Structure 1
Amino acid sequence: MEFKEHIQQLLNEFLAEREDLFLIDIKFSAADHIRVILDGDDGVSLQDCLDASRAIEFNMDRDEHDFSMEVMSAGLSEPLKSPRQYRKNVGRSLELLMNDASEIEGELINVEEDKITLVLKYRKPKDIGKGKVDVVEEREIPYSDIKKALVAIKF
């Protein structure tokens, strides 16, 4: 079995036992450095990262193929990639960069397999007269329209 396939298989076996965790990304460098990014329905602990690392490292022969590896959780600076990640962030504010280069910010209220629903709050000019009015709008956004989605960090 090829090196990358073997690593992927070991990681999949680990994740099959830990259904609360899921893979966000796995990257292999030319120097055989492996970077695994995990997320979980209830977050990812240091112990979860250690367990994933051990599930791979203890089943590989470093004499046969030397490599380095880091396993980490998806941080707030990482874009959301899967519906499962969106689900765990319902109720939070998201910043979306759309494929048409527009930006949208709103509270995530619903997640489906092909789209999300945000509540947008903004001010717009009155139809008649001067001034502005507050608008609250629900907008469904297909994943295919989203270029990048981040959890908005507010202090």
Structure 2
Amino acid sequence: MLKKKVIEELAIERINELDKGLFIVEISISSKNVIHVELDTEEGHVAINDCVSVSRNIEHNLDREEQDFELSVSSAGLDKPFRVLQQYTKNIGNEVKVQLKEKNNTVEGVLKHVDENGIKLETTSKERVEGKKKKEIVVREYDFTFEEIKETKIVISFKK
């Protein structure tokens, strides 16, 4: 069985050489030696050439004669939930949807702050305010610990 730590070290070795702000989101190895490495970057997107470079470094440093394997290196998809702190940090200022563990409650808003304990989310909505005839824009801030969060995803919008 291939060791996850070895795969991680080989991936990090190339990520450090590339020096493009890449980071590992997840590494999985199945019982049939199917290795999947997901990458993301602190700014922008992960280029195909970055995936190829990390893949080659892993593949060239593992011996297929010793143990056969299948390898794929890809970027973390936009449709997938955040899995590491760096993904939260990368998305400060973006709109996200946070699904909470309690009562399957969902809150959508702009990610304002992230630290090792949790996140701060800002929501904006039009609501009736007591004593006013027209609805007014109400801004609220919510703090959530990572223990309260079931999953967080970026809200994909094509509006500008």
TM-score bracket for the superposition, by shorter chain length: 0.7 to 0.9
Aligned to 1:28: 29
Q: Find out whether 1:139 has 2:142 as its counterpart.
A: yes
Q: Which residue of 2 aligns with 1:63?
A: 65
Could you tell me which runs of 5 or more consecutive residues in structure 2 were left unpaired when the two chains were aligned. Answer: none
Of 22-31 and 65-74, more deviation after overlay is shown by 22-31
> Aligned to 2:147, what secondary structure does the other structure show?
helix
SS of the aligned residue for 2:150 comes to strand
| TM-score of the two chains, using structure 2 as the length reference | 0.85
The number of residues matched between the two structures is: 154
Change (3 A) 1:129 1:110: closer
Q: Secondary structure at the match of 2:86?
A: helix
TM-score (norm 1): 0.88
Gap runs ≥5 in structure 1: none
User: CA–CA distance in 1 between the matches of 2:54 and 2:131?
Assistant: 61
CA contact (8 A) 2:2 2:29 kept: no
State the distance in 2 between where 1:61 and 1:103 align: 47
What pairs up with 1:86-105 in 2 under 5 angstroms? 86-100=88-102, 101-105=104-108
**Alpha-carbon shift at residue 12 of structure 1 (Å):** 3.5
How do residues 6-155 of structure 1 correspond to structure 2 at under 5 angstroms? 6-18=6-18, 20-42=21-43, 43-100=45-102, 101-127=104-130, 132-155=135-158
Residue 83 to residue 8, structure 1, CA distance change in 2 (3 Å)? closer
User: In the aligned structure 1, how far is the partner of 2:47 from the partner of 2:118?
Assistant: 29
| SS of corresponding position for 1:107 | strand
Offset of residue 35 of structure 1: 0.6
Per-residue deviation, 1:133: 4.1
Identity of paired residues, percent?
34
For the aligned residues, what is the CA RMSD? 2.0
